[in-house]
Structure 1
Amino acid sequence: MLTSLAIRNVVLIEALDLEFGAGLSVLTGETGAGKSILLDSLGLALGARADSGLVRAGEAQASVVASFDPPAVDHRATALLIENGIDIEPGEPLLIRRLVKADGGSRAFVNDQPCSAALLRDLGGSLVEIHGQHDDRGLLNPRGHRALLDSYGRCEAGAIAAAHGAWRAATTALAEARTIVANAARDRDYLTHAVEELRKFAPEAGEEATLAEERATMQKGARLTDDLSAVSDCLTGSDGGLAQLRQAARRLDRIAGEEPLLTAVLEALDRAVVEAGEAEDRLAEAAEALSFDPARLDAIETRLFDLRGLARKHQVAPDDLAALRDEMAAKLAAIEGGEEHIAALEKDVAAKAAAYRAAAQALSAERQLAAGRLDAAVAGELAPLKLDAARFRTVVAPLDEGQWSAQGMDRVEFEISTNPGAPFAPLAKIASGGELSRFILALKVALAERGGADTLIFDEIDRGVGGAVADAIGERLARLAQSNQILVVTHSPQVAARGAGHMLIAKSSDGTVTRTGVHALSDAERREEIARMLSGAEITAEARAQAERLLEA
């Protein structure tokens, strides 16, 4: 619900702060007082095109701030804010601010966060509908008619949405399977050769690193073999260093007792024999570790060369060859079992399509019944609104299969015929603004609480009518105001008397500056304003008495 509107420097409005309540609020005033400026200001906040001509003369910019009650969690406005990353504080009002510069350009903010004009239009359309001279095409847009009819008729669309999703998923799976089989069949010969080659070669993940490490070890052994052999010759054998040490130790052992100093020499020589023996053992172990088989080295180098060659051929890493083999084998298997798989998917698609059609046909039948009830409800509202020659109908027509969706296979549109014998046409093509507003009112009353914005604004809905028709308009506006916030710009005293609140729009001038202002009327002021609307410039006692009777009624 719209709670307040703050306007600064818009045409004749210098500064204006308005508060709005629930129910029916009426705005009256002399022709030319500035009612259109007020609606233009609100339209600006709701995403209308920003025109620099709206900026008051001599000012740098104009601004409008509209405040709304916090939208409910399931309200479309809440979904729009979440989708566009606009922060929502629980319990805090929704603030929309629009700035227009005198030199062109505009800026928009929602809860003090910048937003696009497109978001502002969507958000404004979910919060307020304006009907009349400034109609924003709320109910006139056929894209929303199907949802309104479903809401009115309580047509449950959940089952058809699920059926449509299942059908589309099955269709996608079939298309993907056909693409895979077609591509695989085209490459059958290549796949057959490649899979056979890879199976025969039998690559393994990690094989390249293992082979390269083994080859490096063998190459190192080949490089050190001569040196190890020479070292071994120096140590081992009958003439080797270790044999010479042992022989020296034996001779020294026989004469060590002759001289104390020789005992120390013998001990040192024994230690040298032990160390040399350990060195001989380590040398043997190293020789064994670095030993290699030339045939094995040749086989490793050949395998490594072929492995890397296959990887280059298939443009993958050597470690990915095994996975590539399995992938290609799966494609071959898909060719062999593809037709059977596709046949099963085709049956699934047919079954899902049949389920969707059944659900869509059931929904279409519900919509047809709801359309009949809605047509009758609107027809009952037309005669009292001086539209007794007009006819209204809800068209529920089948769509082409390519247009079927999660909302069904129907096109829904509201149409009218304004005169006997005249063809039916869309609501938007009606000629008279007053007739259009009354049609919208009749439709809104028939739809009651079924969808739409919470705030409705009717601009001069009573134009060109009076008496009983004006009274019927006022009665229906009051009835509609039981479930919606209604603002109506009116010249009809019968409509004005129905309001829960009454604002007077007036223009004033001090000789140099002209301003438009809005004043909330007290009960006494309200009686006087309705009397003025009844009698004109000179308010008579009879007009005051009639105004009193209208207010009491």
Structure 2
Amino acid sequence: MLTHLAIRNFAVASQSDLEFGTGLTVISGETGAGKSLLVDALGFLSGQRADSGIVRHGAERAELHAEFSLDDAAPALRWLRDNELDDSTLGDGRTCQLRRTLRADGGSRAWINGRPATIAQLGELAGHLVEIHGQHEHQALLARGSQLALLDAQAGNGALLADVRAAAQAWRALADEREALAGIGDVGERRDWLRHQLSELEDQALAADAVADLFASHRRHANAAGLIQTCDTALERMRGEDDFGLPQALQALRHDLGRMRAHEPRLGEVDAMLDAAAIQLDEATRLLEQVRDDLDIDPDQLATLESRLGRLHELARKHRVTPEELLDVQTRLSDELDQLDGAGERLQQLDGEIEAAFARWRSAAGTLGTARRKAAKALSSATTALIHELGMGGGVFEVAIEAIEATRPDPQGAERVEFMVSANAGQPPRALRKVASGGELSRISLAIEVAALGHDAVPTMVFDEVDSGIGGAVADIVGRKLRALGASRQVLCVTHLPQVAAKGHAHYRVHKAASEGATESHVTRLDERARAEELARMLGGVEVSKEARAAARKLLATADA
């Protein structure tokens, strides 16, 4: 539900901040005052193509900002989470902010929850939040996909549609697997190649510890001479074979400190530490002797290690990996060979499984199609009756269902839907998207939404000039239908008829005023007294009479009743 809309330097409006609630909100104003500015703002926030002409004269850019509550918009919340654009910092994460700037040079930028977004993303998200009906290209009900979604929602086909989608996805997965196996080509030739590659790898010790030991052994043998010299020199000092050996130095140090220990008791602790160091020195000497005994300059062994290491690097370059990753290559090739060994049998199995999956989809699609045809008759009848009430006597509305010959499962089912309408008796029904009259189109859209009882998932519906070309009793009926729709959805309606405006739960008035030599549009929320005055103006024109005020109060009383 739309909760807040702010516009800056947009057309003739310099600044407006509007709050919205549930039910029906009406927007009125004199001709040319800019009543449709709010609808246009929502259109641009829904991804409509940027228009530099909409920027207020003298300003660098127009700014639009809308905030929505997501308590009644689960699909929008899912979309935000799927696209990682939900924002837990906004309360409990169940609100959403859309922002767009339109520059005077024609540029445009968009944000979702404060994060940069593409216009396409803005449009996708807005499609889950707001639906605009009127004389505009971007009406959702003109798209056949939206028509099918509305029919399914009205019929409660969610579970049936999920079955169809699941069956189509299962078939697609099997078909992809078969395509992958068939695309391998000559399986026998591929097997021979894999076996050759595996034999080369299996001749080597590729385990992680074996590769690490090979590198370590090669380094040790390659540096044997230096290691031997270093160990011999260290052992000479550690064994004390000359006057400057470590044992002699350590013993002399203990002796010197021992003479003074009687004068400083803490020197005893130092002597104990040096004694422990002597023990550690003995253990280090024994270990170093073992290391020295293991060292030997063996040119043959070094050559063998270099040969093994060279082969390992050669295989690594061949497979474009590091030596440590060759074991993963071996595992992957082995798995592929195992798969190919059963490829022929698997292909035969897949043919049967694909056929069975197609049959399951056809069965699920048939059940869904039956439900759709039943719902189409009910929606056609109810909408036809409503458009008669809305001043199009003799008009007919039909939900045409066209079966498609599916060669592969379609996640949407086995039929397509087209909303057809004839606005006048004797005329053949035509596609809703081809209806020329904007006023008729708005009323037909209203009739569809009322007949469907707002079952589509979009929580906010906007009707722009839905009452164009009507008046009297029909206008009163339109108002009542809008108010009824407002019981299940948030409804915004731009109107010039008092009979419609009186039915609103809230009322905004748009008016123009001169300010510092420039004309500006201002939007004001009306209280009960101001609302009655506005209805009287709509009834009586420039000169508002007592009779017009009385009629306005009666309209409001009737609406409340």
Deviation at 1:59, TM superposition (A): 2.5
Of the three residues 180, 183, 186, the one matched with 1:183 is 186
Residue 13 (structure 1) aligned with residue 13 (structure 2): yes
Aligned residue in 2 for 1:23 = 23
Aligned residue in 1 for 2:80 = 81
Of the three residues 383, 392, 395, the one matched with 2:397 is 392
Indicate the SS of the match to 1:461: coil
Aligned mates of 1:321, 1:122 — CA distance in 2: 46
* CA-to-aligned-CA distance 1:460-494 (integer Å, 9 cap, x gap): 11111111111111110010011111111111121
- Of 186-195 and 486-495, more deviation after overlay is shown by 186-195
Question: Which amino acid counterpart does residue 184 of structure 1 have in structure 2?
Answer: V
Equivalent residues in 2 for 1:301-450, closer than 5 Å: 315=318, 337-401=342-406, 404-450=409-455
Give unpaired runs (5+ residues) of structure 1.
221-285
Equivalent residues in 2 for 1:166-177, closer than 5 Å: 166-177=170-181
* CA-to-aligned-CA distance 1:22-74 (integer Å, 9 cap, x gap): 21121112111121333323333333333232222222332222222x31386
Q: Answer yes or no: is the 8 Å Cα contact 1:184–1:332 preserved in 2.
A: no
Indicate the SS of the match to 2:177: helix
Q: Answer yes or no: is the 8 Å Cα contact 1:26–1:501 preserved in 2.
A: yes
* CA-to-aligned-CA distance 1:63-122 (integer Å, 9 cap, x gap): 222222x31386222223221434233447433232233344233233333322222222
Residue 463 (structure 1) aligned with residue 505 (structure 2): no
Aligned mates of 1:521, 1:324 — CA distance in 2: 74
* CA-to-aligned-CA distance 1:391-425 (integer Å, 9 cap, x gap): 22222223343563333222223222333454433
Inter-CA distance 302–98: structure 2 relative to 1 (3 Å threshold)? closer
Aligned mates of 1:104, 1:134 — CA distance in 2: 21
Inter-CA distance 425–312: structure 2 relative to 1 (3 Å threshold)? same
Aligned residue in 2 for 1:507 = 512
Aligned mates of 2:327, 2:36 — CA distance in 1: 76
Aligned residue in 2 for 1:159 = 163
Inter-CA distance 367–318: structure 2 relative to 1 (3 Å threshold)? same
Q: Answer yes or no: is the 8 Å Cα contact 2:132–2:140 preserved in 1.
A: yes
- Of 165-174 and 314-323, more deviation after overlay is shown by 314-323
Aligned residue in 2 for 1:144 = 146
* CA-to-aligned-CA distance 1:440-470 (integer Å, 9 cap, x gap): 0000001113124212111111111111111
**TM-score under structure 2 length normalisation:** 0.74
Aligned mates of 1:190, 1:95 — CA distance in 2: 58
Inter-CA distance 355–210: structure 2 relative to 1 (3 Å threshold)? same
Q: Answer yes or no: is the 8 Å Cα contact 1:27–1:503 preserved in 2.
A: yes
Indicate the SS of the match to 2:461: strand
Deviation at 1:210, TM superposition (A): 7.6
- Larger Cα-atom Rg: 1
Inter-CA distance 110–287: structure 2 relative to 1 (3 Å threshold)? closer
Aligned mates of 2:326, 2:108 — CA distance in 1: 60
Q: How many percent of aligned residue pairs carry the same amino acid?
A: 38
Inter-CA distance 135–27: structure 2 relative to 1 (3 Å threshold)? farther
Inter-CA distance 523–74: structure 2 relative to 1 (3 Å threshold)? closer
Indicate the SS of the match to 2:508: strand
Deviation at 1:522, TM superposition (A): 2.8
Inter-CA distance 73–539: structure 2 relative to 1 (3 Å threshold)? closer
Indicate the SS of the match to 2:140: coil
* CA-to-aligned-CA distance 1:499-543 (integer Å, 9 cap, x gap): 112222111225822121122223233223222222322333333
Inter-CA distance 466–403: structure 2 relative to 1 (3 Å threshold)? farther
Indicate the SS of the match to 1:419: coil
* CA-to-aligned-CA distance 1:237-256 (integer Å, 9 cap, x gap): xxxxxxxxxxxxxxxxxxxx
Inter-CA distance 522–115: structure 2 relative to 1 (3 Å threshold)? same
Indicate the SS of the match to 2:542: coil
Q: Answer yes or no: is the 8 Å Cα contact 1:149–1:370 preserved in 2.
A: yes
Equivalent residues in 2 for 1:90-129, closer than 5 Å: 90-91=91-92, 93-129=95-131
Question: Which amino acid counterpart does residue 75 of structure 1 have in structure 2?
Answer: A
Q: Answer yes or no: is the 8 Å Cα contact 1:204–1:322 preserved in 2.
A: yes
Deviation at 1:426, TM superposition (A): 2.4
Q: Answer yes or no: is the 8 Å Cα contact 1:39–1:134 preserved in 2.
A: no
Indicate the SS of the match to 2:512: strand
Residue 42 (structure 1) aligned with residue 42 (structure 2): yes
Question: Which amino acid counterpart does residue 175 of structure 1 have in structure 2?
Answer: E
Inter-CA distance 303–415: structure 2 relative to 1 (3 Å threshold)? same
Aligned mates of 2:494, 2:325 — CA distance in 1: 75
Inter-CA distance 355–13: structure 2 relative to 1 (3 Å threshold)? same
Aligned mates of 1:167, 1:505 — CA distance in 2: 56
Deviation at 1:435, TM superposition (A): 0.3
- Of 316-325 and 408-417, more deviation after overlay is shown by 316-325
Q: Answer yes or no: is the 8 Å Cα contact 1:67–1:94 preserved in 2.
A: yes
Aligned mates of 1:347, 1:113 — CA distance in 2: 49
Q: Answer yes or no: is the 8 Å Cα contact 2:85–2:112 preserved in 1.
A: no
Question: Which amino acid counterpart does residue 476 of structure 2 have in structure 1?
Answer: D
- Of 20-29 and 396-405, more deviation after overlay is shown by 396-405
Give unpaired runs (5+ residues) of structure 2.
225-291
Question: Which amino acid counterpart does residue 70 of structure 2 have in structure 1?
Answer: P
Aligned mates of 2:4, 2:294 — CA distance in 1: 95
Q: Answer yes or no: is the 8 Å Cα contact 2:214–2:305 preserved in 1.
A: no
* CA-to-aligned-CA distance 1:353-407 (integer Å, 9 cap, x gap): 2111111111111111111111122122111012232222222223343563333
Inter-CA distance 132–188: structure 2 relative to 1 (3 Å threshold)? closer
